[in-house]
Amino acid sequence: MNITINLFATLRKDRFDSARQEYPSGTNVRHVLSILLIPESEAAIIFVNGRHAEPDSELRDGDALSIFPPIGGG
């Protein structure tokens, strides 16, 4: 299945801003993190299609997965 992955802030370093990648069906967020070598502690905020998700969240074909390190502002 096709997943669009968006990375932000420090997570872009040595990786990418946005990419479409193929994964086997049944893949969860944790698996994607491990492929991208992102420690779970750095993936502080995870969205799937604009809704908060967890490492255990299962992905579906066409999902947009966005991963942020700890950030703040205001």
Q: How much of the chain is helix, strand and coil, in % rounded to 5?
A: 15, 35, 50
Site string for another protein, 13-32 (x = CB under 8 A): ----x---------------
- Tell me how far, at minimum, the Cβ of 49 lies from another protein, in Å: 8
Tokens 């997570």 appear where?
A: 11
Beta strands at 2-7 and 64-68: parallel, antiparallel or unpaired: parallel
Contact between 52 and another protein by CB under 8 A: the answer reads yes
**Backbone φ/ψ region at 26: left (φ over 0), alpha (ψ -120 to 50), beta:** left
Contact between 8 and another protein by CB under 8 A: the answer reads yes
Nearer to another protein by C-beta: 2 or 10? 10
Task: Please report, as ranges, the residues that interact with another protein according to CB under 8 A.
Answer: 6, 8-10, 12, 17, 44-45, 47, 50-52, 66, 68-74
